[in-house]
Amino acid sequence: MRAHLTDAVKNQVKQTNSELAIIPGGLTKELQPLDIGVNRAFIVKLRSAWEQWMTEGEHTFTNTGRQRRATYATICQWIVDAWAKVSVSTVVRASTKAGMITELPANSNDTDSDNDERDSDILFAIIAQLLNSDTKDEEFEGFVDE
């Protein structure tokens, strides 16, 4: 796909004060955080949910005796649950290794924190650094509360 190389897309990106980063073929596994360290953690958790369903789940069968697949709703729930189990530290490490962030926010080296608010603050700091932004939650899409 090369849609991101069209003039229309380039103009849209420019209007958002963003920059396109074209990753040369073969370097995706070196430069994209998901490929570097997040996908594997996610897939392991997703596969675990599928394996649990296969071994412990209630199954229905076709008239010919073939087991029916999991419903889309079930699969979507596995995806939501698997993503929720990917730790903030996994995302931070992968982003650091990809060179997207240069220094880690304070306390981001904790593993699998139960403190959702702190995890949210860490992710906000990482995203703000990635976007070179110091905008607070109150300032959204160019609107500032006065």
Residue 33, by phi and psi: left (phi above 0), alpha (psi -120 to 50) or beta?
Answer: alpha
Distance of CA 10 to the CA centre of its chain: 24
By the 10 Å C-beta count (0-12 exposed, 13-18 middle, 19+ buried), 122 is classed as buried
Using CA atoms, how far apart are residues 114 and 73, in angstroms rounded to an integer?
27
Over residues 92-127, the pLDDT tens digits come to: 888 888 877 776 555 555 454 455 556 666 666 666
Over residues 20-77, the pLDDT tens digits come to: 777 777 777 777 778 888 888 999 999 999 999 999 988 899 999 999 999 999 999 9
Tell me, what's the pLDDT at 73? Answer: 94
Q: Where are the domains of the chain?
A: 28-130
Cα angle for residues 4, 7, 11 (degrees, 5° grid):
90
Residue with tokens 């509360």: 145
Q: With cut-offs at 50, 70 and 90, classify the pLDDT of residue 138.
A: very low
Cβ neighbours for 101, distance < 8 A, ≥ 6 positions apart: 92, 95, 126, 129, 130
Using CA atoms, how far apart are residues 46 and 56, in angstroms rounded to an integer?
15
Crossing angle of helices 88-97 and 116-130, in 10° steps, is 20
